[in-house]
Amino acid sequence: MLRKGIALAALGLAMLSAPAALAAGAAAPVKHVEYSFEGPFGKFDQAQLQRGYKVYREVCSACHSMTLMSFRNLGQKDGPFYDPKYPNPNDNPYVKSIAKDYQIKDIDSETGDVIERPGTSADRFPSPFPNEPAARASNGGALPPDLSVMAKARHHGPQYIYSLLTGYKEPPAGLKVGVGQHYNPYMAGDVTAAWSGPHDKVPPGGFIAMAPPLAAGQVTFDDGTKSTLEQEAKDVAAFLTWASEPKMQERKSFGFAAMIYLLIFAGLLYASYRKIWKNVAH
Amino acid sequence: MSGHSNYEPKTGIERWLDTRLPIVRLAYDSIIDFPTPKNLNYWWTFGGILAVCLGIQLVTGIVLAMHYVPHVDHAFASVERIMRDVNYGWLIRYMHANGASMFFIAVYIHMFRGLYYGSYKAPREVLWILGCVIYLLMMATAFMGYVLPWGQMSFHGAVVITNLFGALPIVGEAITTWLWGGFAVDNPTLNRFFSLHYLLPFMIAGVVGLHIWALHVPGNNNPTGVNVKSKEDTVPFHPYYTVKDGFAIVVFLILFASFVFYNPNALGHADNYIPANPLVTPAHIVPEWYFLPFYAILRAVPDKLGGVLLMFGAIAVMFVLPWLDTSKVRSMRYRPTAKLYFFIFLLACLILGYCGGQLPDDHVIPHLSTFTLIDADLNSFVWLSRFAALYYFAYFLVILPILGLTETPLPQPESISAPVLSHPANAPAGAAASPEKRG
Ligand code: HEM
């Protein structure tokens, strides 16, 4: 009975984890990229996070906000600029100097005037546009989404971001791409309406209003890493994953201790159970 | 809670309290001394597991509520802030979000256990009905909880579900307006859902109290379904079942922890990490996995009102089950035909759950078009849902009523102690006890 039950439970779980169906004009399956933070013991690669932050800062931040992020986050444990010498990330000199490079809008507490002052580690990442209409106006009507939790907001987030950034392609003959739009096989959507080719050969993916943001050599990495398109995309996706889930490493290491504890506890309880029930026929 | 009590107050203060509020006696009689059939298997540990799930949801929920902001402009960011800036907030939030799923895994196993072993039959009808009430309250609680983080699925799920009430004739529109607190899902909706999401779990706790009370009057059913006949058949709850339940709870927590620590978003939907936007409808609105079977039944009916009624009917039918099953034999161990139908029923529920996550018109067997029946190809998820839903209702309304009158059950043991020798698994053939009367 128990064995049957376990088999059924396994079946149920298998069905649970079956991926949700994809919409009709499905996007291409994401590219396979390996990351250091995968798996139960995976850790962020700090050098990669630093490179990724640089890509965000020099390229993506021109259009994309990250409203949930503060400069201090960059210096917190497992973050790109964490330094064990500064357990309080607000004191981290590197983080302070990054923040200082930004001018933050504020209210002068004496006069009430709107002023600009240099950023501090407690400030949030400033947004590139003052409001949504301004963001749309600069992007042909499309809104660049906030990237704070982007890696959690798409299936296979890190792989998806990488695939999207490296996946721009010449549209196949027969596909009409609108003004300000770009074809990307990894973008969600359905291009059927713009397709004049054979019915059963509709290209995968959709149209995206973001022009290819990255190109080889666009960002110079301070650690000498060669800045190919793939490297930039991989690193910025890693940075966005960290930003989406900054406590991932803490979660996994806490989980490891919790698992050991639970396994030992289960073993003890099972032994007690066998002992207590020894003389009961059941 | 009923019948004879063996509690003897040992200290002066216990004696003093016992003549004023016999609460220690109540606890002693219900969880220490309570005579429990000695043959309960691991399917019986899910009651304890469910109590732990409720406790976890209450504790984590109360802490979340200290930091959560029930406002459309702040809810999404406040949940993220809990995970980033509150100490161990990620743990509390992931426990709460995955805890809801774990709660439903446990409750489904608990319910199928009851269906298989006939635990809903006399004298346990009220116990069963209270269980159905808990299940309804759980669904309402989980639905409203899922709205709180105010992501895309939260918002559009709330729109879809509240609109269902609009299908009711005459009162429908008034009910939806009343639920929304306005003319659309908006801030007032979020506010009242938060209030109710905080309230309902305490109502669940209250009904759980009644459920346990109703359990302790007739006592536990058991895998043979045969009544307890003598003291030989039982063991005191403590330490026998405290240790067995304890072991099962910890094993369950290992499963729970594997989600919380290593795959915390696997049971959720990525779209719920996109802040709610009423103007952008997700390509594919799906409810949480535990609602999928009902979602499939809803969509199986071409008519909206019909779908809503059938969906609620799927739950309503469980309330009257004790009077639909005509067999006097409780456990399906002794009902081979019923057992077969039961496993098909289980399969039908899993199929419904699977269909609920698919697009209705997609093919079940890829690239195979058969012929169109009424409104869809026969090889489509909507038709598969229809067959499975038909079986779901037939199981309750046709199979169980008729089967009890026509089947020939296997001989049941005289008592619980007897099958320790005669259970097919550990006895030579022929050791079975006296044959059982029909029905
Ligand atoms: C029957 C027990 C309960 C169930 C099944 C349940 C279920 C849920 C679900 C499914 C969510 C959405 C999770 C997500 O995706 O973020 C949620 C959120 C929430 N729940 Fe509960 N809950 C229960 C009890 C409670 C209690 C007792 C409280 C507080 C007193 C509470 C407070 C909250 C809060 C503040 C949120 C929003 C934060 C968040 O989304 O993580 N819950 N609940």
Q: Are A217 and A227 in contact (CB under 8 A)?
A: yes
Name chain A contacts of B354, Cβ cutoff 8 Å. Answer: 15, 18
Judged by CB atoms closer than 8 Å, whether chains meet at A149 and B273 is answered as yes
The Cα–Cα gap between B103 and B142 comes to 10
Which residue of chain B is at minimal alpha-carbon distance from A281?
B420
Nearest CA in chain B to A39: B262
Q: Tokens for B343, please give them.
A: 């496993």
Q: Do B243 and A276 touch (CB under 8 A)?
A: yes
Q: How many residues does chain A have?
A: 282
B146 within ligand 1 shell (Cβ under 6 A): yes
CB atoms within 10 A of CB B188: 14
B284 in A contact zone (CB under 8 Å): yes
Per-residue pLDDT, A200: 83
Chain A residues whose CB is inside 8 A of the B264 CB are 251
**How do residues A3-18 score in pLDDT, each as one tens digit?**
555 554 544 444 444 4
CA-based nearest distance A154→chain B, Å: 5
Q: Do A158 and A33 touch, CB atoms closer than 8 A? A: yes
Q: Are A12 and B42 within 8 A, CB to CB? A: no
**Is the minimum distance from the CB of B268 to ligand 1 under 6 angstroms?**
yes
| A199 vs B314, more confident | B314
Nearest alpha carbon, ligand 1 atom 12: B146
- In angstroms, how far is CA B353 from the centroid of its own chain? 14
- In short, whether B204's Cβ falls inside 6 Å of ligand 1 is yes
For ligand 1, the distance from its centroid to the CA atom of residue B229, given in whole angstroms, is 44
CA distance A79 to A45: 9
A-chain CB neighbours of B84 within 8 Å are 68, 73, 246-247
Residue B359, classed as helix, strand or coil, is: coil
Q: Which residue of A has its CA nearest to B239?
A: A276
Cβ–Cβ below 8 Å for B254 and A263:
yes
Q: Inform me whether the C-beta atom of residue B83 falls under 8 Å from chain A C-beta atoms.
A: yes
Give the residue-averaged pLDDT of A225-243.
96
Cβ–ligand 1 contact at B149 (below 6 Å) = yes
pLDDT of the residue at A25 = 58
Q: Which of B287, B253, B426, B433 is nearest to B356 (CA)?
A: B287
Structural tokens at position B251: 């094993």
**Class of residue A217 by CB neighbours under 10 A (exposed 0-12, middle 13-18, buried 19+):** exposed
For chain B, the residue count is 439
pLDDT of residue B280: 93
Dihedral sign for Cα A29, A30, A31, A33, please: negative
**Nearest chain B residue (CA) to A16:** B289
Dump the DSSP string for chain A. Answer: -HHHHHHHHHHHHHHHHSPPPPPSSPPPPPPP---TT-STT----HHHHHHHHHHHHHTGGGT---TT-BHHHHTSTTSTT--TT-SSGGG-HHHHHHHHTSEEEEE-TTT--EEEEE--TTSBPPPSSSSHHHHHHHTTT--PPP-TTTTTSSTTHHHHHHHHHH---PPPTTB-PPTT-EEETTSSS--GGGB-S-GGGPPSSEEESS-----TTSS--TT-----HHHHHHHHHHHHHHHH-TTHHHHHHHHHHHHHHHHHHHHHHHHHHHHHTTT---
Please tell me the predicted confidence (pLDDT) of residue B376.
86
Which residues of chain B have a CB within 8 Å of the CB of A152?
265, 270, 273
> Min CA distance, A68 vs chain B (Å)?
7
CA-proximal residue: ligand 1, atom 39 (nearest): B149
CA of B198 to the centre of ligand 1 (A): 8
Residue A26: its pLDDT value, please?
81
Q: What does each of the 439 residues of chain B score in pLDDT, given as a tens digit? A: 446 788 999 999 999 999 999 999 999 988 899 999 999 999 999 999 999 999 999 999 999 999 999 999 999 999 999 999 999 999 999 999 999 999 999 999 999 999 999 999 999 999 999 999 999 999 999 999 999 999 999 999 999 999 999 999 999 999 999 999 999 999 999 999 999 999 999 999 999 999 999 999 999 999 999 999 999 899 999 999 999 999 999 999 999 999 999 999 999 999 999 999 999 999 889 999 999 999 999 999 999 999 999 999 999 999 999 999 999 999 999 999 999 999 999 999 999 999 999 988 889 988 888 888 888 888 899 999 999 999 999 999 999 999 999 999 999 999 998 765 555 555 444 444 444 434 4
Nearest protein CA to atom 24 of ligand 1, as residue? B57
Q: What is the ipTM of this complex?
A: 0.89
Tell me the whole-structure pTM to 2 decimals.
Answer: 0.91
Residue A66 or A17, more confident:
A66
pLDDT of residue B420: 54
How is residue B413 annotated by DSSP?
Answer: P
CA of B147 to the centre of ligand 1 (A): 9
SS3 B351: helix
CA B101 – ligand 1 centroid, Å = 11
B47 touches ligand 1 (CB under 6 Å)? no
Q: A122: buried, middle or exposed (CB in 10 Å: 19+, 13-18, 0-12)?
A: exposed
Q: Is the CB of B179 within 6 Å of ligand 1?
A: no
Locate the ligand 1 atom nearest the alpha carbon of residue B68 and give its number: 35
B393 touching A, CB under 8 A? no
Over range A39-45, report the average pLDDT: 95
Cα B164 to ligand 1 centroid, rounded to whole Å: 23
- Cα of A247 from ligand 1 centre, angstroms: 21
Is residue A188 a contact partner of residue A27, using CB atoms and an 8 Å limit?
A: yes
Residues in A touching B254 (Cβ below 8 Å)? 259, 262-263, 266
Distance CA B247, CA B245 (A): 5
Pocket probe for ligand 1: among B82, B88, B105, B148, the residue whose CB has the most ligand atoms within 8 Å is: B148
Minimum CA–CA partner of B42 in chain A: A2
Ligand 1 contact via B100 beta carbon (within 6 Å): yes
Among candidates B120, B342, B109, which has minimal Cα distance to B211? B120
Q: Where does residue B375 rank: exposed (0-12), middle (13-18), buried (19+ CB within 10 A)?
A: exposed
Residue of A76, A152, A256 to mutate, interface with B, max B Cβ within 10 Å: A152
Mark yes or no for CB contact A153/B274 under 8 Å: yes
Q: Measuring from atom 33 of ligand 1, which residue has the nearest CA?
A: B61
Distance B313 CA to ligand 1 centre (A): 26
* pLDDT grade for A279, boundaries at 50, 70 and 90: confident
- Farthest CA pair distance, chain B: 81
Could you tell which of B56, B64, B67, B152 is best to mutate to test the pocket of ligand 1, judged by most ligand atoms within 8 Å of the CB? B64
Q: Are B79 and B149 in contact (CB under 8 A)?
A: yes
Identify the residue whose C-alpha is closest to ligand 1 atom 6.
B142
